Amino acid sequence: MINANPTETPIFLVVAAALIDRDQRIFVQQRATGKQHGGLWEFPGGKVEPGEAPEVALARELDEELGINVAPSALRPLSFATVSSADRHLLLLLYCAREWTGSPRAISAASTRWVHVESLRQLAMPPADLPLVDVLAQELSPIRCSSGNA
Ligand SMILES: Nc1nc2c([nH]c(=O)n2[C@@H]2O[C@H](COP(=O)(O)OP(=O)(O)OP(=O)(O)O)[C@@H](O)[C@H]2O)c(=O)[nH]1
């Protein structure tokens, strides 16, 4: 049951990135089993630490999780989603990026894939991600993200 007292239910701020390559494919990773939502596919990212700017947090997570370097200024806000539970309100901010250095690799994820947006719908993702996939599909045709190089 959702906590009725708003002062007792914290916002859990998470940032994630849709990395988009030259073929309009999106990078997703599979969460390790044993974690919350283990086995589900997600956009790379993670929690924003106290005092951290969201874009800086996301650049840090992309380095830690994938070993790539993304300038915070290359992260473009795309959409957000919320999912409330008894103990927290998840606020998931989705950015997109087309420019980075390095090749994304699974450092902590169970598996990774590059998929076209229509194939994203075939993957099991956390509830918060489902509306974000719809936004991504809209945004990729016509493309509104910056058209740099992957
Ligand atoms: N990165 C990411 N997290 C998501 C997505 N969708 C979604 O519901 N989440 C949820 O957001 C939360 C992220 O927390 P996390 O614990 O993985 O973050 P983190 O990487 O900083 O954690 P850790 O380094 O302590 O393992 C999880 O509950 C995760 O299931 C998504 O697309 N990407």
Q: How confident is the model at residue 3 (pLDDT cuts 50, 70, 90)?
A: low
Positive or negative: CA dihedral 98, 56, 32, 85: negative
CA end-to-end span of the chain, whole Å? 43
| Residue 49 · residue 37 · CB < 8 Å | no
- List pLDDT tens digits, range 38-57: 999 999 999 999 999 999 99
What the block records as the tokens of 125 is 């993702």
Nearest CA to ligand 1 atom 19: 46
- List pLDDT tens digits, range 76-120: 999 999 999 999 999 999 999 999 999 999 998 999 999 999 999
User: CB under 6 Å to ligand 1: residues?
Assistant: 14, 16, 36-37, 42-43, 45-47, 90, 92, 126, 128-129
pLDDT averaged over every residue in the chain? 92
Domains of the chain, earliest start first: 6-139 (3.90.79.10)
User: Is residue 148's pLDDT more than 90?
Assistant: no
